Amino acid sequence: METRIAVIAIVVENLDAVEELNGLLHQYGGYIIGRMGLPYRKGNINILSVAVDAPQDVISTLSGKIGKLSGVSAKTAYSNIVYQTEDE
């Protein structure tokens, strides 16, 4: 299976969406390398970066689901390196 490293940048403007966002991140937790969240109180928003190692279609699906949440924006930056892993 081919996997890539990517970072999903997330801006949460609707704080009511945080619970659903955390549910999605939990659902895809097996692919998450790490995450960092920063509350920006002045703007009343949260900024997150989520590093993942997953097949490209999984990364795209997760990013798309996050971006469909009301008041949440997501953009993904992919590494150029493709890893070959054994299927489990």
Q: Could you tell me the strand order of the sheet in which 72-84 lies?
A: 32-40, 45-54, 2-12, 72-84
In tens, the pLDDT along 11-66 reads 999 999 999 999 999 999 999 999 999 999 999 999 999 999 999 999 999 999 99
What pTM was computed for the model? 0.91
- What domains can be seen in the chain, in order of their start residue? 2-73 (3.30.70.1150)
Residue 80 CA to residue 36 CA, distance in Å, equals 22
Residue 32 CA to residue 36 CA, distance in Å, equals 11
In tens, the pLDDT along 52-80 reads 999 999 999 999 999 999 999 999 999 99
Residue 88 CA to residue 77 CA, distance in Å, equals 26
